[in-house]
Amino acid sequence: MKKQKIILFDIDYTLFNTDVFKETQLKKHSVYDEVHSVLKNLSNVAELGIFSEGETDFQKTKLNKTDIKKYFKKKYVHIALNKKDEIRNILNKYSNKQLFLVDDKLTILYELKRVLPSIFTIWVKRGVYAKNQKEISGFKPDATVDNLKEIISLIHQS
């Protein structure tokens, strides 16, 4: 029997266009162009969730104001002030699932892989962190993409 697929997404620079938000003095809430179509597509083959860092209400407001909250199952929404501190707690919930994690921070993907080697890590190479990211010796994410559209085939094939 195939394991249930769960995809956890980071919010900032992964789904949410944080650059636009900053440029508009935190007024314009928007996601990248492909986000709605990708989430709609993936929600047909997997359960979608969030693994994000930040203040809970602030992050949830981003999901609400961009109309993407509807794609995520409440039980799979994890928002922590410090992601690194929560990795073990979160990953323990998914030990019997086929888990994908999509993030713009290579360091988080590296930590996740160390805790749960079976996780499929996808690095979205956009935003301030990705642009300034140094390689991590001995670690390469399972996939690197510039646009979330590129993950559709990865998820469908696995």
How is the chain split into domains, by residue range?
5-157
Position 102 pLDDT exceeds 70: yes
Q: How far apart are the first and last CA of the chain?
A: 13
In the predicted model, is pLDDT for residue 3 greater than 90?
no
Residue range 5-52, pLDDT digits in tens = 999 999 999 999 999 999 999 999 999 999 999 999 999 999 999 999
What pLDDT score was predicted for residue 1?
A: 66
Half-sphere exposure of 110 (CA within 13 A, CB side): 11
SS3 118: coil
Is the model's pLDDT at 2 over the cut of 80?
no
- What digits encode the pLDDT tens for the residues 120-157? 999 999 998 888 999 999 999 999 999 999 999 999 99
Q: Which amino acid is at 132?
A: N
Q: By CB neighbour count within 10 A (0-12 exposed, 13-18 middle, 19+ buried), where does 136 fall? A: middle
| Fold assignment, 5-157 | Rossmann fold (3.40.50)
Cα-based distances in Å from 68 to 9, 32, 39: 12, 11, 8
Q: Which of 80, 81, 62 is nearest to 72 (CA)?
A: 62
When pLDDT is averaged across residues 90-115 and rounded to a whole number, the result is: 95
